[in-house]
Amino acid sequence: MSAPLTTSPGPTDDTVLTPQLCLQGREQAQPVIDWLLSVRLKQTPITLLFDGFLRQLNAVGIPVDRSTLHLPQLHPQLRARTVLWEGEAGGAMEIPRAHGIEVTDYFLDSPIRLIFEGGPVVRRRLGHPDCPADFPITRDLKAQGYSDYTARPLPFSTGRTNSLTLATKHPEGFSGLDIATVEAAMPVFGTLLELRNAYRTSKTLMETYVGQRSGQRVLAGTIKRGDVERINAVLWTSDLRDFTGLSETLPMEEVIVLLDEYFEAMAEAIEANGGEILKFIGDAILAIFPIEEKHAGDPCRACMASMVAAQAALKNAERLREERRAAGKAEFRCGIALHVGDVMYGNIGAADRLDFTVIGPAVNLVSRIEALNQDLAVPLVYSAAYAEHWTGQSRSLGVHKLKGIAEPQEVFTLEDTSGLPCQD
């Protein structure tokens, strides 16, 4: 009896993982799995974890020369992250992918799109004479001397599918045992990757919704109602003037665009100078410049930083206003108020719905001062306490009775406001 005929795999055929091949792959992958388990509890960045994983594969004989990870993200600015590893480059690097990449030719013509959409493994044996040139990436890799390429699903427990790609320059490409070994190691690698990605996502969401400083405290365990601390800080409030009128005359879609543009103009200046936005309240911003933590306990330094931020924010707002005027869009005006004092900072609210914020008389005072911006026809006002620590020249705007504040308060602005943007 003659032996059964065997055929070589086609240019797009993936390895058939027989029980025997899977067993051999698990045996060969064991050192890789052992290494992964040894780093499971370490705070290893994803780039270092990926680099170590691929070097471990190389160590057991898998000829990976290039590899990528593609991770969809829950992030306000990023649609995904790509991690690129090239053996000759000596490490892995992360490439952020902004929202919108999913509609570009770069993504639509990529095998990664097929994986993300639930498609099967993509395999292109680039050294095969009949290998189709159906993806830009495989055409590029073939031109660079790669002989084999595969894109494989890397699922997370949430049901989300990520992708791992592997490419080699080995003359014979990846063997069946190579693929079986990778497949045996991928579940453990994927689990560690998911843990690290989940922590990073949690950190991103905390910073996005409650601020960097507050988010770090929540993740560190400050999560119980009543967990508060007394801090000394410069307090900032700002809002749009006549926002109610704008809301009633503009379509809601345009109101949202205006708010987003205005908040971006303010936030850029606040964050660049060490401030932290605690919340957006309608059209208003509440932010702090912590004195002990950021400025070595020196209120003068904190006032300097906040004043630089205020002037930069007003310049940003003026530039935005001019752009809107040139585009025929509704204009706006805004005002900023500054104060310095002690506040209680931490978790306040219901048992199962908390807000990480600041409260205290100082917060009430800065809010009331901000309301004077329009009446006094200046875009920047600050309290007497702030004026004491601000090293620049101030001009008194008089003493004013403020709603909810027992004692009349003297308020100030800059001595020279001629160059201050957003003037009435």
- In the chain, where the domains are located: 19-208, 212-414
40 is written with which tokens? 């499971």
Q: What contacts 132, CB < 8 A, 6 or more positions away? A: 11, 12, 124
- pLDDT value for 418: 66
DSSP 90: T
For residue 161, what are the contacts with CB-CB under 8 A and spacing of at least 6? 115, 116, 118, 153, 154, 155
In this structure, whether the domain defined by 212-414 belongs to CATH 3.30.70.1230 is answered with: yes
Tokens 């908040």 belong to which residue? Answer: 263
Q: List the chain residues with pLDDT less than 70.
A: 1-7, 418-424
Cα separation of 176 and 181, whole Å?
9
Kindly state the tokens that stand for 330.
Answer: 């509704």
From CA 313, how far away is CA 268, in angstroms rounded? Answer: 7
For residue 101, what is the DSSP state? G
pLDDT of residue 40: 83
Maximum Cα–Cα distance for the chain, whole Å? 109
Sign of the Cα torsion 101, 103, 104, 108 reads positive
**Could you give the angle at which helices 176-210 and 46-59 cross, rounded to 10 degrees?**
170
Superfamily of domain 19-208: GAF domain (3.30.450.40)
CA dihedral sign of residues 153, 157, 159, 160: negative
Q: Tokens 């409030």: give the residue.
A: 237
pLDDT for residue 5? 46
Q: Give the model confidence (pLDDT) of 21-78 as tens digits.
A: 999 999 999 999 999 999 987 888 999 999 999 999 999 999 999 999 999 999 999 9
Q: What's the CA angle centered on 369, arms 366 and 370, to 5 degrees?
A: 85
Residue 81 CB neighbour total at 10 angstroms: 19
Count Cβ atoms below 10 Å from residue 146 Cβ, excluding itself: 21
- Measured at the CA of 161, the angle between CA 166 and CA 107, to 5 degrees, comes to 65
- The answer to whether 237 and 278 have CB atoms below 8 angstroms apart is no
Paired tokens of 4:
């059964």
Do 120 and 150 meet the contact criterion of CB atoms below 8 Å apart? Answer: no
The b/e string for 11-36 (b: 16+ C-beta within 10 A; e otherwise) is eeebbeeeeebeebbeebbeebbebb
Question: Considering the entire predicted model, what is its pTM?
Answer: 0.81
What was the pLDDT predicted at 343?
95
